[in-house]
Amino acid sequence: MRTLKFALFSGEELGLRGSLSYVEEFRSELDKVRLVVNLDVHGTAFGSSNSIITGPEKLKNYVEALADEIGANINIVEDVMGSDGTSFAKEGIPVVNFARFGGSGVNMHTELDDDRFVHEVEYLVLCRLVAEFLNRIANAEKLPFAKEIPEKLKKKVDEHFKKRLGIFDGKE
């Protein structure tokens, strides 16, 4: 059995400030982190459930198989999501993002944001998948994927930090 650590971050919309600060403060512990599961933008009544995998293809395949097994209708892609998990991906830690996009969520973080557009059924779809995923990962004899990020995704992570956040690592 593995240890699961839950962390909440603030300042994402201001440039991943909370997660970047966490990574810096606990840098000496990052070698123990095998995977980050990031939950962002949930419960919107309209839109689609998604999983954005910043990690090896085997991790994407694992999430796809689990979603199929439990009947979760979810779009799964290998890519980089502009969310807190990206701070860990920059350090070579795979990330599974679960989120909902589209629909009424287009007004989030504005004066038009309204909890009337949040629906419990949409929470349940992703919650069921996330709970089963975490249970299996926590109890697996061996993780079914390597702690790695493919080169094409590493480049996308770097581009995200440079273009979207204006953060450079000084290696150029």
> Which residue segments constitute the domains of the chain, with CATH numbers given?
33-164 (3.40.630.10)
Average of per-residue pLDDT across 142-154: 96
Give pTM, 2 decimals. Answer: 0.86
Edge-to-edge strand list for the sheet holding 36-40: 36-40, 95-101, 48-54, 75-78
Please list the residues that pair with 75 across neighbouring strands: 50
Question: What is the dihedral angle through the alpha carbons of 26, 29, 34, 38, rounded to the nearest 10 degrees?
Answer: -10
pLDDT tens digits, residue range 44-94? Answer: 667 788 999 999 999 999 999 999 999 999 999 999 998 889 999 999 999
